[in-house]
Amino acid sequence: MATNPITQDATESTASGPNDFELFVGCTIQNRIPFIEKSARYVFEKLGITLHDNGEFACCPDPVGVQSTSHDTWLTLGARNLALAEESNRNIVSLCNGCSETLKAVNHELKEHPEERKVVQSRLDEIGKTFKGSIEVKHFIELLHEHVGIPAIKSLVIKPLTGLKIAIHPGCHYSRPHELVHTDDPMEPIYPRKILEALGATVLDYQEENMCCGSGVARNNQAAADGMLKRKYASIQDAEADIIAAICPSCYQQLEVGQKNMKKAYGMEVKIPVLYVTELMAIAYGGKMKDLGFQFHQVKPMKLLKEFGFE
């Protein structure tokens, strides 16, 4: 992006063109698995999207944990994050299914329900913030598919993922509830698949593709979560996938940690690296695995990817 170095600071903070977005990294990626953030920044920079950081963002908050504790608190903290982004006049891009669901759903609920909005605003008044309902929230997959577009995503590929067999796990909150998140097909999402196909990968069909990773139920019933994952892994193994692709940090962690649990719970061997869609894009765009932090994965992906010619 050609910017005059002298005015760069000023334009950086106020720019709100079509390719400027407020980056909502989310707690899990930011403070636990930051290599995913690395790949996202790498990819979006290549695609000419400017991501702006906002240090005031707090937890989205989590649509499972916090919303189930108090819907009122969930609405109020979500409204604060939206109000912060509104001050910059930029739409939000989120790297996480949970954050994008929360921010979209809170935006929707407050716009549709004036009574609730009044109550929430009265709390925001106490901290000098205003919810205007003036911006949109996008999941990064949605941004890639709808805003950047498949041809542009394809045009940057210098090392195609040829021969790599991928099982996609879209996760639940990316596309459901549809009336709140408004993207893709709610039951059989296809945008992640189209992006990976544009990178040259072989995207597999497998029985349990759209089943939950179980991270929600694992909070209260580990046995049920293990059972769900067992079904999921078995069907991924049946399809003979080399790797699993994720678009949500909770799912990502559940799908990595779950592999160890399978051994404990069922004596079942599962060893399939899990990669974020942005990580796969980054290596297809020429990124080096070490620079991207692939060594920090729990289920190590580098040996396998080297066999496919990636460095």
Partner 1 sequence: MENESIPPESPVACLRDDLTTGEMGISLNICYNCSTCSTICPVALETEGKFNPRSIIQLANCGFLERLIIDLEPNVWDCSMCELCQEACPQHVDLHGIFVTVKNAAAEYENIPESYTSETGQVYLFGKAVPLQPAIVKRREKLGLPPSIDTSLNEIQLLMTLSGAKAILDAVEKKKATTEEAI
Q: Interface with partner 1 by CB under 8 A: which residues? A: 27-28, 30-32, 34-35, 37-38, 41, 53, 55-59, 61-73, 75-77, 80, 123-124, 126-127, 172-173, 176-178, 186-187, 210-212, 214-217, 219-221, 223-225, 227-228, 293, 296
Kindly tell me which of 6 and 127 has the beta carbon lying closer to partner 1: 127
Kindly tell me which of 107 and 164 has the beta carbon lying closer to partner 1: 107
In angstroms, what is the minimal distance from the CB of 32 to partner 1?
A: 5
Is the distance from CB of 73 to CB of 117 less than 8 angstroms? no
In angstroms, what is the minimal distance from the CB of 160 to partner 1?
A: 25
Kindly tell me which of 116 and 197 has the beta carbon lying closer to partner 1: 116
Task: Give Dmax over CA atoms of the chain in angstroms.
Answer: 62
Q: What angle do CA 130, 132, 135 make, to 5 degrees?
A: 125
Query: Residue 309: phi, psi to the nearest 5?
Result: 95, 10
In angstroms, what is the minimal distance from the CB of 308 to partner 1?
A: 23
> What is the DSSP code (8-state) at residue 215?
T
In angstroms, what is the minimal distance from the CB of 241 to partner 1?
A: 20
Q: Which residue from 274, 199, 283 is spatially nearest to 242, judged by alpha carbons?
A: 274
Is the distance from CB of 249 to CB of 26 less than 8 angstroms? yes
Kindly tell me which of 125 and 240 has the beta carbon lying closer to partner 1: 125
Kindly tell me which of 101 and 242 has the beta carbon lying closer to partner 1: 101
In angstroms, what is the minimal distance from the CB of 223 to partner 1?
A: 7
DSSP-derived secondary structure for 110-130: HHH-HHHHHHHHHHHHTTT--
- For residue 190, the surrounding DSSP H or E stretch is none
> What is the DSSP code (8-state) at residue 131?
-
In angstroms, what is the minimal distance from the CB of 62 to partner 1?
A: 5
Residue 118: exposed, middle, or buried by beta-carbon count in 10 A (0-12, 13-18, 19+)?
Answer: exposed
Kindly tell me which of 185 and 205 has the beta carbon lying closer to partner 1: 185
CA-to-CA distance for 68 and 70, rounded, in angstroms? 6
Residues 6+ apart with CB under 8 A from 242: 164, 165, 166, 272, 273, 304
In angstroms, what is the minimal distance from the CB of 73 to partner 1?
A: 4
Kindly tell me which of 104 and 201 has the beta carbon lying closer to partner 1: 104
